[in-house]
A and B are shown apart, each in its own frame.
Chain A
């Protein structure tokens, strides 16, 4: 086999898969991007066809207050949920890393919420947070207090969807962080313990710096995951009250499938796509940097 044949052989086996992946992945994206340049709505379709409007939809986005509000809300949701989940995951992973074997059964049990599908989780929280019939009503009644109507209050409704996300998704972050803990070198830990460092000092000055790349990866993957938050919010609040929980994903669906403004909805999705792409590139960069660091070490 000549060197050139050797180089081309893998491509012979790869092209069917690459073609299939291309069709499944890139065709919808290209189609969606092309739609974002058209005035496609139910009305224009019914009237015989939509027209090419160039950047018209993107220009409209620039002055669409609803879009800006939903982007801000999405970013707030990502920052809040990711931060809380990181802290919880880190604390539990740290604790589990130190406990004796019988407690390790929790490693499996703790990740159960991650397998609950979003619609079931959303509905469960909708009923749990019902002040009349739900758990929250029961608890507050026992405490002799008026239960808060979380889903009907614009401020609390946001925290209700955060609470649901934290419950369902913290095990996802935990798995990554815990794997990081398991991969930590034991020698420096033993050395610093012999030097007299207490648990907090071990964590603050050794574990945390060593875990930083893992935490960055966990945060980024969780942020990318948060972009998809839709079903659970749809069943919990429908985006309300008012616009209190109208995240960007809700906004896209509303534009494309409720208002049938498919072209405009595609433009919003394109922005969404680029945000996701940016986060994915950042993820790749962090991974490469971490790998380089590991090699140098």
Chain B
């Protein structure tokens, strides 16, 4: 033997360690983005947590390291603004629909994104996504990103109650038509009245705590009653009669809401419905998963989903709320960011994200037979997105939302009538939209 046994063992062990250690290293080095780091700013929910958990898969695919910062949803826009003001430290941002007009100047239009290397290029094609979801990430006709969830207002009701023979007979005797998911706001009111049996059951779940949610609720009821817009001078006075009728409808429906529902947020709505205290509710699909979770809900399997009831204008209206992946001009890793966005928004990855509560913004996933079976509200999302209302596309949206929310909550609190609310809201919106932009 050339080497002493001991020396031989040491050399053999060293060689083995080098081979084993080098193999992954060299494989990693061969990957297209080896040694690069991507920084992503995301909202924080179960969907984002599922993405964060699967990051090693992307890192294995591309060789890149991903720093994934997930923060409270309502702070993402402020963080994005301050980060961009400081030069931009992130390569990819998640942007909530109403903030895109304000933040759009920071981003690269989707059409100019670099083509990815490892992800199928067609994953970035706008045709893959629902038009209303894409509109959420657009401003002045330019699309600034890929939609990653399809949130749109939907109507949920207790199918066990609606199909109960005794309830159906009683309803028909009182209202002279069959009990079914309401297709008009007048029917929605009848259903609310019929099922209001204090203290165990109520017919209406309002959203009334001052926040963006109240603005959405106001826009939903206004658009249902045919009000065309809320973001131009005199928009409400042009449709004053419809706007007043819409608000009066909401005030009338409050009679069928549980006591104290004058300061309700998502948590209160979900708690009441999950306990079986509500017969019907307008909600976001992102909350539906919890209604069907036995650990969180007493009404699992007792729900069905339908398009929102149409108003006197004859058209149902659903407000959309999409999050978009946006690539900043400041990023030095645009190709890698585009790669990551394509991976996140892809159909194959999306299928697994659905399990974590993500509602897709892609037609193919919403129509996937297996996914529809386990998520029966998907057809509802698809149909509601067809005529979805996109919130005003204005850089001043937040001020506008504040005006709507303030006056709407004042009206709910009994400080103003429907008519006075429309006038006050219109005056303030007109003043705001006539001002030079700040």
Contacts and interface: CB of A to CB of B under 8 A. Distances in A.
Q: Do A and B bind each other?
A: yes
Given A130-B268, A242-B407, A152 B78 contact: no
B85 to A, nearest CB: 5
A257 B438 contact: no
Given A154-B410, A240-B209, A132 B84 contact: no
B372 to A, nearest CB: 34
B49 to A, nearest CB: 21
Contacts, number: 118
Given A137-B259, A152-B208, A241 B78 contact: no
The interface residues of chain B, by DSSP majority, are classed as helix
Contacts of A25: none
Contacts of A44: 438
A152 B395 contact: no
A203 interface: no
A133 B259 CA distance: 9
Contacts of B272: 132-133
Interface stretch (A35-43, A70-78, A182-190, A222-230): A35-43
Given A45-B81, A154-B410, A237-B209, A259 B262 contact: no
B434 to A, nearest CB: 17
A239 B271 contact: no
Contacts of B104: 46
Contacts of A254: 402
Contact of A147 (B259, B402, B405, B406): B259
Interface string B28-40: 0000000000000
A241 to B, nearest CB: 4
Given A43-B395, A242-B413, A132 B81 contact: no
B341 interface: no
Interface residues of B, number: 42
Interface string A233-244: 000011111111
A259 B85 CA distance: 15
A239 B210 contact: yes
Interface in A249-273: 254, 257-262, 264
B412 interface: yes
Interface string B388-414: 000000010011001001110110111
Q: Which 4 A-B pairs have the closest CB atoms?
A: A152-B262, A240-B210, A131-B260, A46-B105
Interface of A: 39-47, 130-134, 137, 141, 146-147, 149, 151-154, 157, 237-244, 254, 257-262, 264
26 contacts: A39-B438, A42-B81, A42-B103, A42-B395, A43-B102, A43-B437, A44-B438, A45-B85, A46-B105, A46-B106, A47-B105, A130-B268, A131-B259, A133-B272, A151-B263, A152-B261, A152-B412, A152-B413, A154-B410, A241-B263, A242-B210, A257-B78, A259-B399, A260-B77, A262-B85, A264-B438
Given A241-B262, A260-B398, 20 more contacts: A40-B85, A46-B102, A46-B104, A131-B258, A131-B259, A131-B260, A132-B260, A132-B261, A133-B268, A152-B412, A154-B415, A157-B263, A238-B210, A240-B210, A240-B214, A240-B406, A240-B413, A241-B208, A241-B415, A242-B413
